[in-house]
Structure 1
């Protein structure tokens, strides 16, 4: 398991997402990567195109935590992260940007 996602993307097939008292298991092509913006570290979690409600839930909650798995093996378990940005990619994927 990795301590913090670096610039090399981690790819998984399942993510357990916790947003306040709400939690969900999302499956599909999932990517997690660390990015630097103006010297500050952020985590980008890229989720497959899914329920449009996901974005609204994340924006309203303000914080989230996730566990990324590949083939049942835990790759990364995040601390609680503050939502800094949510956006949709051209392919419909939801990108959630967070920081501790």
Structure 2
């Protein structure tokens, strides 16, 4: 398992997210992917449209860490990431981006 996701998306069906203020579990179609913007690496976690409180919780967080699963098997465990961006996509998906 690597320390940072690559550019190829990793798809799972559940994720456990821990932040400095809360922890939550989300289920559904979830994607984790590395991205480079302005020469800086980011991990992007895309969650299905869900509780609006999740976005507020993630916006308030200073850092997050996540564990992505598919059918109970751990696919990826992130390092602690500083929250850099949270946004809603046009399809309602919640995207949280972080960097080490």
Question: Aligning the two structures, in what range does the TM-score lie when normalised by the shorter sequence?
Answer: over 0.9
Measured in 1, the distance between the counterparts of 2:16 and 2:70 equals: 12
Please state whether the residue corresponding to 2:98 is helix, strand or coil: strand
Please state whether the residue corresponding to 1:7 is helix, strand or coil: coil
Measured in 2, the distance between the counterparts of 1:84 and 1:11 equals: 22
Scaled by the length of structure 2, the TM-score of the pair is 0.95
Aligned to 2:41: 41
Measured in 2, the distance between the counterparts of 1:61 and 1:4 equals: 20
- How far apart are residue 21 of structure 1 and its match? 4.6
Measured in 1, the distance between the counterparts of 2:74 and 2:4 equals: 13
Aligned to 2:94: 94
- How far apart are residue 59 of structure 1 and its match? 1.1
Please show how residues 17-56 of structure 1 align to structure 2 within 5 Å.
17-56=17-56
Aligned pair count reads 100
CA RMSD of aligned residues (A): 1.0
The answer for unaligned runs of 5 or more in structure 2 is none
Aligned to 2:85: 85
